[in-house]
Structure 1
């Protein structure tokens, strides 16, 4: 029997994908893959810090360094349904991770969970007018 990827690795060594969103309107995002995250001890605040540090330290992230990233929201768990919106799921505001002290495993995080990291005000503005622009 094949092992599903969400349980193939222990919760103490999970791989997470953080979708760093620069612009909702222009659908500008880049995925940050984090390996060996201990979901049983890592908090929401620590995950934000890990992502911020990676953006500052890793090459290729310069365009994202001036974005105020303050909010995490669950995008999908491995093998879960994905939204039809390519930039973020606009439904399920209850998936916004408001409690910085919450442990990721207690929030249902598993190996290969995807999370969106974005500016909360930009998100609220986009929800009011969820149109995208494309410059060719």
Structure 2
């Protein structure tokens, strides 16, 4: 380990068995309604996309601050960004790279490219496809 911790990139500062992930739970693309859920101590070597979805849905169902999201349809995840990676200019979602959609729910997250400080979006696939066809923002 380097003498100065600032020389360590945050994406490799923690072991794959205890990372921090941010899940961007998207309720509406048109109104840019989303909320971030920070998850700590996630084991990327054993956790799958299905496990991550269940964890987020359980949080939404049980924690008071998530009540407005309980009626949202959430059925698909997509990588948003990773630590030290480039981010999209769209404030709600990266609409390019459809290959980043996490359709294989039974694979460990580490096999899908997750690292410490990875951000992933959780949203309705139907709403995503509709918004891509007509990317109209209603709050402006």
Query: TM-score, normalization: structure 1?
Result: 0.97
Q: CA deviation at 1:72?
A: 0.2
Would you say 1:88 and 2:88 are equivalent positions? Answer: no
Q: Deviation per CA, 1:106-136: give whole Å up to 9, x if none.
A: 011000000000000000000001111117x
Between structure 1 and structure 2, the one with the greater Rg is 2
- Residue 118 of structure 2 aligns with which residue? 113
Larger mean CA deviation between 50-59 and 71-80 belongs to 50-59
| Structure number having the greater helix percentage | 2
Rounded to whole Å, the distance in 1 between the matches of 2:96 and 2:17 is 29
Q: Provide the aligned C-alpha RMSD in A.
A: 0.9
1:20 paired to 2:37: no
- Choose which of 40, 43, 46 in structure 1 pairs with 2:48: 43
Are residue 123 (structure 1) and residue 128 (structure 2) matched?
Answer: yes
How far apart are the structure 2 equivalents of 1:8 and 1:55?
29
Task: Return the alpha-carbon distance in structure 2 between the equivalents of residues 119 and 82 of structure 1.
Answer: 21
Structure 2 portions without partners, runs of 5+: none
Q: How many Å apart are 1:58 and its aligned residue?
A: 1.6
What's the CA shift for 1:63?
0.4
2:83 matched to which residue of 1?
A: 78
How far off is 1:59 after superposition? 2.1
Q: Indicate the residue corresponding to 2:65 in structure 1.
A: 60
CA distance in 2, matches of 1:21, 1:95: 16
**Paired residue total:** 135
Task: Give distance in 1, aligned partners of 2:106 and 2:49.
Answer: 6
